[in-house]
Amino acid sequence: MTNEMASEEAALHRLDGALTWQGFRELLPISLFVIVFGAAFGLAATQAGLSDASIVIMSALVFAGAAQFASLELWGPHIPLFTMMLTVFAINARHLLMGATLSPWLQPLKPAKRYGVMLVASDANWAMAMQAFSQGRPGLGLLLGGGIALWSFWVLGTWLGLYFGNAVSNPASLGLDMVMGCFLLAMVVGSEKNLRMLVIWAVAAGASLLAYRYLPENSHVVVGAIAGGLVGLFWGSRDHEH
Amino acid sequence: MSIETGNPSALAIILIMAVVTLVTRWGGVFAMSFVPIGYRVKRFIHAMSGSVLVALLAPLAITGDNGARLALLTTAVIMLTLKKPLPAIAGGILVAALFRQM
């Protein structure tokens, strides 16, 4: 690592109002789709018997779509608390990895800021932030501003779903269930591609599928990601020694 | 909006869900504050960040319906050719919608 690179890296963790606003605007298109998911959640939660206030509070405080949908499956007169906690933890465990991958740029920040921006970390804004870092651009504005956009529209969509949920009772027929999948895939395909990355991705995909098939539910993301990370760790160190 | 009555445990459960989720959002950053970020850790982190997405997408591609598969394929192809995310995402959604109307 040269000094030049070190000073460049130091600038990448910049975070100010202008970068946050820019991040907000960059995540706006995907956030509009998030309204639809939010509405679908609002409708599903109503059908599962939650009160209107509980539903909006859940979206505002939990802000994790997949885990929220899964929690509805467990909702009823007697909610199995431990199973609920385990399910939410397993589905959201990928946040642990996201936090870890962001740590090189979060560690220079003061703790309040560091943990503050993580409040709104989710798949889309994290992926955009990581892409920015890998291209040598500051990414924390995308994480924070983009996260605020996603959070606002998730809560707004949830609330709209209480009243107009029937309009999006079948988002899959409009292809809307594929928005996040296509978005994340575009991030993967748009990133650095070489033999090393392709092998890492292949191992991650293989491990994820094996875990999906044979390991406890919701473990596949963590298993696949760590498998890919380990390939990168060992392959990387060999490169370094040469 | 109705006023929360008769179901005090719902709010408690939501708060517990929020705390569990917060632990996942903060835990990774917290754990890494004990790890010096050197060359090897950076390689691991870099490899893992793409792998999170791939691991998330793999079961979707395998267990999804043909509409889902075609959507992902379309996004990948447009992304590889045009290198622009918005047309790639829009194309994927459109293909899934059209396929499912058939």
SS3 B24: helix
**CA B92, CA A139: separation in Å to the nearest integer?**
26
**CB contact set of B70 (below 8 Å; sequence gap of 6+):** B95, B96, B99
Domain boundaries, chain A: 3-191, 192-242
- Beta strand segments in chain A, E: none
- B12-37 pLDDT per residue, tens: 999 999 999 999 999 999 999 999 88
- Using the Cβ of B12 and the Cβ atoms of chain A, whether some distance falls under 8 Å is answered with no
pLDDT along chain A (242 residues), means of 10: 52 92 95 90 92 97 94 88 92 94 94 97 95 94 98 97 83 86 91 91 97 93 94 71 40
Structure tokens at A141: 């504005």
- Tell which residue, A18, A8, A13, has the closest CA to residue A114: A13
Given a contact cutoff of 8 angstroms between Cβ atoms, the answer to whether A136 and A45 are in contact is no
**What does each C-alpha distance from A47 to A55, A75, A80, B14 come to in angstroms?**
11, 10, 19, 17
SS3 B94: helix
Q: How far is A128 from chain B (nearest CA, A)?
A: 11
Would you say the ipTM is above 0.90? no
Contacts with A, B 24-63, CB within 8 Å: 24-33, 35, 37, 39-40, 42-60, 62-63
- Using the Cβ of B77 and the Cβ atoms of chain A, whether some distance falls under 8 Å is answered with no
**CA A6, CA A141: separation in Å to the nearest integer?**
20
Given a contact cutoff of 8 angstroms between Cβ atoms, the answer to whether A66 and A94 are in contact is no
Residue among B4, B33, B54 whose CB faces A188 most closely: B54
- Residue in chain A nearest B87 by alpha carbon: A186
